[in-house]
Structure 1
């Protein structure tokens, strides 16, 4: 399973959705989850960069798991997700700053409108229980959400599903940002 995590870690970095050492990926396997280690370079994942921890309780390995393990754990507890990708997608971060910590982003592109609908923006400190609860609540209704000033969280039945949602979130935020810039520029002429 770590090979699947490594595959999507490389894709995230190659497509500019994360910088190498930021973001995290997990897969659920029953009552356990495999999650990237804290500080792991997502484009260089090996078996040693992934840890297995319990979904329902804490573990001594939590200390080396991603700082967002608490969020992944809560999302798995409250949704039917089997895979989660957290990326630091730049346009999504910018749009979250414009929307506010409890806002919504309405895509202007047809694909975003069709596949995502609204995109919730949630607040909470990195690695906090507050953020974990806010994300789990949002992802019980949506396939993706953006953490204010921090990045996207996307869920799926597979990492492929979560990756597609991640790319859709970033694409819709990029189109919205470019559209708003062009609209403002046109209005200034």
Structure 2
């Protein structure tokens, strides 16, 4: 049990922006998002801490995050990510503790190739941890995207936004990050499998 206690202790002792910075750098380093795209947020009671609009995810600092309420808009919304409305709706309608939005390339490609509305995993981890991955629609930061994402994420921990990227949730930032990587891995395997099958 000691390792679990240490994990929670570390979460409380580390300023939230530093945890967001750690995950943001991992997203960029592993090609899951370009530096100035994507966003990250963490639920804090009735508020959320979210990256600012245009914030480079591999250079997050204390000044690059902003706290806004979950249940209503505020004067700081203009500073926050363009996807604040989407994050807000997800927190309102799910028990998510954190949200990671990446622009994972294979997930984007598969969402453009798909005609069924979801990606069916072929890899064993994807089958076990994800099941089918829904593809939702809506323009960036729109009410349509907020509603579609929240509805889908009430049933799962990750979705793909058509032509845009992934939205993953979790109790912690690490959980949301892992869900992001799993969706991208599943889409990568699916892409190469379909490509190889067509060439046979």
**Which range, TM-score by smaller chain?**
over 0.9
Deviation string 1:107-148 (CA, Å, 9 cap, x unpaired) is 111110110000000001110011000000000001100000
Tell me what 1:149 maps to: 163
Deviation string 1:38-62 (CA, Å, 9 cap, x unpaired) is 1100000000100000000001110
Verify: 1:45 aligned to 2:60, yes or no: yes
SS in 2 for 1:62: coil
In structure 2, distance between residues paired with 1:38 and 1:174? 29
> What count of residue pairs does the alignment treat as equivalent?
185
| Superposition pairs of residues 90-129 of structure 1, within 5 angstroms | 90-100=105-115, 103-129=117-143
Tell me what 1:162 maps to: 176
Structure 2 unaligned spans of 5+: 1-15
In structure 2, distance between residues paired with 1:133 and 1:3? 30
Verify: 1:19 aligned to 2:37, yes or no: no
Q: Which runs of 4+ in 1 moved over 3 A?
A: none
Verify: 1:73 aligned to 2:88, yes or no: yes
Tell me what 2:147 maps to: 133
In structure 2, distance between residues paired with 1:51 and 1:99? 36
Question: Residue 99 of structure 1: CA displacement?
Answer: 1.6
In structure 1, distance between residues paired with 2:117 and 2:31? 25
SS in 2 for 1:66: coil
Deviation string 1:75-99 (CA, Å, 9 cap, x unpaired) is 0000000100000000000111112
Tell me what 2:193 maps to: 179
Over aligned residue pairs, what C-alpha RMSD do you find?
0.8
Structure 1 unaligned spans of 5+: none
Question: Residue 64 of structure 1: CA displacement?
Answer: 1.0
